[in-house]
Amino acid sequence: MTEEEINNNRGIPVENHTKLSIQVSLNGLSFCILDTTENTVIQSENVIFAKQLTPYTVLKRVKQLFQEHKIDQGQFSEVVAVHRNNLFGFVPQSFFDAGELANYLKFNTKILANDHMAYDEINYFGLVNVYVPFVNINNYIYGLFGAFTFKHHGTVMVESLLKRHTRLDNEPIHLSHAHSHGKEPTCYVYVFERQMDVTIIAQNKLLLYNNFSFVTKEDFLYYLLFTLEQLQLDAAFVAVKLFGDIEEDDDIYELCYRYIHNVAIFAPYLQEDSLTNPHKESIDFTVLNAL
């Protein structure tokens, strides 16, 4: 289903140019509807749950969200579902075997015998992300819209950042900015709902992608410094870029600034030059970049 073209059994009219992107996790939901003719976000929302829910309860909340915003009555030229969880593992494409999905996950995540596993291919960068999607959510969306695309949030995160990094790497280097050019290792940290996605890229290749849950700012700093240490990256020199639910006056940023020399806030939206929406920074990064 991840590679299928949209085949909506409701018969979308040719003139329909709205895309729906929805992200589902046990901690919250978010969605975005994009008018592709005007390149404008016409509707979006982010919902954070008070506590972590079960997949069954999340499905009930998805149905409520769809009914509240009349999404279940809509017609879209494209529908993309993004599954956010920590049941994933990246595999080099050259070593990937579609018949061994469980073996890629069983050593670093808890999977059940009846879990359905899927994978996303990032062909340009030679990567495959193996993961466990929320099957009940997929079934519900398929029942509404027919065939659609679904991905893991790590796929969207890594592919988007790799594309951005590659674009920087191909730009002319000014001597005053040579030290921060795309060829140097860069650590991107996306902050959301007391979780952090850590993506480290160098030479247009993925060195590491992982997800951590944290409670305190000290937890956040520990996971970040530990990750850099494992890759033998010096916190005094590596560029660390924080984005998502974080600002320069946050306690987390101030603590990181004390231990990491080259840390900064940035907004790496792939559509940043063309998307006409004054509040796009408030839309979840993976929801926006999945479109």
- pLDDT for 239-270, tens place per residue? 999 999 999 999 999 999 999 989 999 876 54
Distance in angstroms (rounded) separating the CA atoms of residues 83 and 25: 6
What confidence tens digit (pLDDT) does each residue in 108-130 have? 888 888 889 999 999 999 999 99
Q: For residues 286 and 29, is the Cβ–Cβ distance under 8 A? A: no
Tell me the residue type at 209.
Y
Closest by CA position to 129, among listed 170, 162, 168: 162
Look at residue 8 and tell me whether its pLDDT is greater than 50: no
What confidence tens digit (pLDDT) does each residue in 139-156 have? 999 999 999 999 999 999
From-to residues of CATH 3.30.420.250 in the chain: 18-158+271-289
Distance in angstroms (rounded) separating the CA atoms of residues 51 and 57: 11
In degrees and rounded to multiples of 5, residue 232 shows phi and psi of 55, 45
134: which 2 tokens?
């929320």
Computed over its alpha carbons, how large is the radius of gyration of the chain? 19
From-to residues of CATH 3.30.420.260 in the chain: 165-265
Closest by CA position to 195, among listed 220, 230, 224, 222: 220
Identify the CATH number of the domain defined by range 165-265.
3.30.420.260
Name residues whose C-beta falls within 8 Å of residue 199's C-beta, 6 or more positions apart in sequence: 157, 158, 161, 187, 188, 189, 190, 206, 208, 209
Closest by CA position to 85, among listed 21, 13, 150, 148: 150
Q: For residues 13 and 249, is the Cβ–Cβ distance under 8 A? A: no
Confidence at residue 12, expressed as pLDDT on a 0 to 100 scale: 38
- What CATH architecture applies to the domain 18-158+271-289? 2-Layer Sandwich (3.30)
Residue position matching structure tokens 């005094």? 236
Confidence at residue 180, expressed as pLDDT on a 0 to 100 scale: 46
Confidence at residue 13, expressed as pLDDT on a 0 to 100 scale: 40
13: which 2 tokens?
């009219």
Q: For residues 288 and 281, is the Cβ–Cβ distance under 8 A? A: no
177: which 2 tokens?
């900015």
Residue position matching structure tokens 């993309």? 80
Percent of the chain topping pLDDT 90: 69
Distance in angstroms (rounded) separating the CA atoms of residues 107 and 96: 16
Direct distance between the N- and C-terminal alpha carbons of the chain, in angstroms, rounded to an integer = 16
Q: For residues 211 and 220, is the Cβ–Cβ distance under 8 A? A: no
**DSSP bridge pairs for 206:** 201
Distance in angstroms (rounded) separating the CA atoms of residues 62 and 22: 9
Q: For residues 217 and 276, is the Cβ–Cβ distance under 8 A? A: no
